[in-house]
Structure 1
Amino acid sequence: MSDGTIRQSQGTPSWLGAVNDRVGLSALLDHGPLTRNRICELVGVSKPTASMMMTRLIAAGVVEESGQVAGSPGRNAALYKARTDRPLGVAIALDAFRLRARVVDAAGGDRPVVTIDLPRDPAERSAVDEVAAAIRAASEAAGTDPRVVHTVCIGTAGYVDPRGDGQLFSETLPGWPTTGLRDVLERELGVTVFVENDVNLAALAERQTGAGEGRDVFALLWLGNGVGTSFDVAGDLHRGSFGGAGELGFLPLSVQAHALDPKAETSTDLVGAAAIRRVAAAHRVAGVDPSTADLASILAAIADSPSADAIIDEFGERIAHISLPLLATLDPGLLVLAGPTAAIGGTRLADAVEREIRRLSRWYPEVVATHVEGDAVLQGAHAFLTAKVREELLSKVARLAVP
């Protein structure tokens, strides 16, 4: 069956063999190369059963011997490892004019990251060409075959409506199809494509290795050129019926929040890139022209400015105001601040936001700066794809049991 379901009734030898093979392969993916004795310990099977498992998995092309280790006197034990050279995926984090990509295998191995600059003229843009280039470049950097890439995850600002023709809501993909994006990419490239909101992927990284690890519920607030939120409930991301859950940046401001900056009408206006520029100009931050510099340059100049503490406190109040709708909706015990602006403010910004939330409202979440280092969106796409590629590999084992 194409979905990997095992036909045999539970308890039959074929069913038991498939279950054992799947568990054995999972152990190799989780722990790396193992001896037969160690497989017995981890999986809970006898030595003869472990030997038969490895024989079947080697024949299936998903496991191979990788040397020997010293065992009892006069004997060496064979090491078995999972083959992670196929199938593969490619994780892509996409900004308006730049993408980062890396190959992903079923074990979540560390592969090189490639960066590709994209045309600024929408007439020169092509979703198919850009994703294809990402697959080729990432595969070349990893030393893998691009033809064995079966799945791609694209993380970008905005979202795709899961209904109908899959309308794309994004302001950062000039020249890309606004409808049917997944269908176009899958048809032209011959791979399975997932288009995921960048903030949701950042929350996935936060759940796996950051401040959200071990927490039942948390909200992640992304602060950068725009503003977005992700809701994580027991490890599940709430995307909403139309894929637009967490698009906090479009919300109009309350009267009190608008009073902080009369030029701001929405949450993005109050704490996004335009607000950073206005505040930097008002505080006469040196070393950068806020009207022309990019966000990263302005934030770096603010961090080195004598006005840094005052600006962080000001943004703490602004961020507290835009956080109130999500706190009233979800009431999380933990609010994680992530994104470029949050990275500059760090713990001091988190403390300011927490203090202002308690002053302004009845809610009192713990507010922390992200614990994820580096490219959170790409890390989240990597984690997302690792699970997909792993399931594809394990499903191959299940299909082998179908007569």
Structure 2
Amino acid sequence: MPASPSTARAMNDRLALRLLQQEGPLTAAQLKQLTGLSRPTVADLVERLTAAGLIAVVGEAGEQRRGPNAKLYGIVADRAHLAALDVRTEGVAVVVSDLVGRILAEESAPIAGEAGTGPAVEQAVALVERAAKEAGAAELHTVGIGAPGLIDPSTGELRDSTALPAWHRRLVAALQERLPAARVSVENETNLAALAEQRDGAARDRDTFVLLWLGHGTGAAVVLDGSLRRGASGGTGEIGFLPVPGTDALPAATDCAGGFHSLAGSQAVAELAGRYGVTATATGGEPRAAALVREAVVAGTEAADGFLDALADRIAIGAASVVAVLDPGCVVLGGEVGRSGGDALARRVEQRLRRLSPLPTEIRPSALGGAAVLRGALLTARDRAQEELFATGER
């Protein structure tokens, strides 16, 4: 059945907007060439999108740079402002951007949960409000949050966990209350990191891969055939609870001590470095475990190499378990530790994985490190805002 005229217009408008998002400002002639639409159809959609306030003339192109054919049309970037949050156990980082993703303001602050849930939530919300004010945003259209822990797939909310600060769960509701016009959503931090690595980082050429998060804690995100997999309860990738040899006990439902986390979490990495006499000074807020791995890669001493070899042994155990079940063909070592280890650590893990598994698997270092969570939160916020606003322009 052929599409109705209104449906066809909607499809054409969405195609043009996506091209303007991906390619930047374009002339009507360029839109015609890229879309394959007729000149009158392109003229109509440009008129509709301009009237809807979604696009505007942003300049001129061509040698003469004058006349209607030279007009460059671009997305109205300040039509909506977005915020992204990376919520960690010890603090929050915030960025505010316009509709095309240009960063307008950045803020971060440590948050001490010992002061109480209420004060911690207020400090985090105030940080978002301060960033929005600095960006000149009268209101925020969409807020994307990355946080550790499980996200309930039926409600989209952060599930209660004794291992996480209480203010984490209160933050989403508090932001929605203080920013009533905003669309607020939360996603697991490792999942967001994987989305960012797929769009802008180490997995840009892969539609199937696993991101192994190596930061304060451990986790994994699974992308199969281009789609993020969350599981029946939202717990896909909770690899920290994976029972592994070489630990003193089995993990429990409320504590992953004895699981993979106890081998590759930040505290375990720091203790392992100490056994090999590797020391480092963290700078610029860099996590200590990441600094130790970075220093070992640079040092190239026998002790440093021994530390990296031992760490690769541990990481390969978790990677081999994931590969045996999913056969992803590619594992990205994410988080601050994964990026600090770079090719030196990835190469060691890949060598060990070849001995543990018959399934060919490429191991890649993260291109974004800890910044991937914030980038992923911003990308999802932008996608959600554009989806809604672009649909608005189609009516």
Paired residue for 2:304, among 279, 304, 308?
308
- Partner secondary structure for residue 121 of structure 1: helix
Size of the aligned set, in residue pairs, is 378
Encode CA deviations 1:257-301: one digit per residue, 9 max, x unaligned.
338xxxx72111111122223222222334669xxx943454455
Could you say which residue in structure 1 is the equivalent of 2:11? Answer: 19
Q: Distance in 2 between matches of 1:165 and 1:45?
A: 39
Pair 1:136-2:132 in alignment: no
Q: Give the CA RMSD over aligned residues.
A: 3.0
d(CA) in 2 for partners of 1:132, 1:86: 23
Residue 50 to residue 277, structure 1, CA distance change in 2 (3 Å): closer
- The aligned residue for residue 186 of structure 2 is 195
CA deviation after TM superposition for structure 1 residue 28, in Å: 2.3
What residue number does 1:3 align with?
A: none
Tell me which residue corresponds to 1:226: 217
299-308 or 85-94: which moved more?
299-308
Residue 353 (structure 2) pairs with residue 357 (structure 1):
yes
Higher RCO (CA-CA < 8 Å; seq separation 6+):
1
Cα distance in 1 between the residues matched to 2:207 and 2:62: 44
Task: Go from structure 1 to structure 2 and tell me whether the alpha carbon gap of 1:224 and 1:23 turns closer, same or farther (over 3 Å shift).
Answer: closer
Aligned-residue offset at 1:118: 2.0
What runs of 5+ residues in structure 2 fail to find an aligned partner?
Answer: 249-256
Determine if contact 2:9/2:394 at 8 Å carries over to the other structure.
Answer: no
Contact preservation (8 Å) 2:335, 2:369: no
Answering whether residue 28 of structure 2 is matched by residue 36 of structure 1, we say yes
Matched, 1:295 2:286: no
Alignment map for 1:237-386 (pairs within 5 Å) = 237-254=228-245, 257-258=246-247, 265-286=258-279, 294-303=288-297, 306=301, 307-372=303-368, 375-386=371-382
Instruction: Determine the C-alpha separation between the residues in 2 that align with 1:343 and 1:92.
Output: 21
Farther-moved stretch of structure 1 (109-118 vs 82-91):
109-118
Could you say which residue in structure 1 is the equivalent of 2:251?
Answer: none
Q: Which amino acid aligns with 2:43?
A: S
Identity %: 34
In 2: Cα distance, 1:373 partner to 1:226 partner = 14
Residue 119 (str. 1) matches residue 112 (str. 2): yes
| TM-score normalised by length of structure 1 | 0.83
Alpha-carbon distance in structure 1 between the residues aligned to 2:66 and 2:297: 64
Please identify, of 71-80 and 373-382, the stretch whose mean Cα deviation from structure 2 is larger. Answer: 71-80
**Residue aligning to 1:186:** 176
Measured at CA, do residues 98 and 394 of structure 1 come closer, stay the same or move farther in structure 2, by a change above 3 Å? same
Taking structure 1 as reference, are residues 258 and 117 closer, same or farther at Cα in structure 2, changes over 3 Å only? closer
Query: Relative to structure 1, is the Cα distance of residues 345 and 69 closer, same or farther in structure 2, using a 3 angstrom cutoff?
Result: closer
What secondary structure does 1:135 align onto?
helix
CA distance in 2 between partners of 1:61 and 1:288 (Å):
51
Inter-CA distance 209–119: structure 2 relative to 1 (3 Å threshold): same
Contact map agreement 1:92 1:99 (CA 8 A) in 2: yes
Whole-Å separation in 2 of the counterparts to 1:41 and 1:52: 15
Gaps of 5+ in 1: 1-8
Residue 46 (structure 1) aligns with: 38
Larger radius of gyration: 1
